[in-house]
Structure 1
Amino acid sequence: MDELVKKLAGFGIPAIILLVAMSATGLAGAAAFTAALAALGPFGMLGGAGLLLLIGLSADKITEFGYAKITTMVIKEQLKTNTKEDMIEKANYKFNPNKPGIFQWQSVDDVFLMVVD
């Protein structure tokens, strides 16, 4: 049952992307579907369908591992090339460029968590 839920979650994200693209076309019915697929992909409708398939497979893998595990893996990989201080400085600037340093950072299992004051 858990596997079925993970597969269904993988289909939800491409469906939402397709619905947003269809509403952005200003058309209705099959014309909206065709125009949305053509707008999404680099090679027309086939590219759009391929992009949605790629997003669906990626979402399926993300739900399989979990967002926290993927975030942890990315940050650990970044720590191989950047120092903790550089990462904190970049994150502070990115989240609030006008007031850097107003966040508190906690390290859990060598991964940073942001706590907003």
Structure 2
Amino acid sequence: MRLNFKGLSLIELLIAVSIVSLLAAVAYPAYIGHMRASHRAQAKEHLFQLQLKQEAWRLSNNSYTASVADLGAASDAHYTYRVTNASLSTYTLNAIAIAEGIQSDDEGCTSLQLDQSDNREPAHCW
């Protein structure tokens, strides 16, 4: 005797949907974690570029600038960049996560700092 199957039963469909849902529930948080790490790496790279520009500024002007605009930097989609504590011999570069983005949930790494002595804060984010 030969049986003719013309589709999926409701049970088979429910099993397939539950497997796909389970895979998505595991994959999405991992994906978001990788995206946060990638954006943080881009912010660190940007801070290093700003550090080089800050040192070049000092060679030309005998002091560090307090303006990120003087360094030719702008905010990106995930971080805002600032210069604080600028003087003749010191500066601190800051990358601050934008509140509406996924970086705002980056535990302990929403604000990255780099200074003239290459001190990096918070240490666990570098």
- TM (norm. structure 2) is 0.22
Higher strand share: 2
- TM (norm. structure 1) is 0.23
**Which one has the largest radius of gyration?**
2
Higher helix share: 1
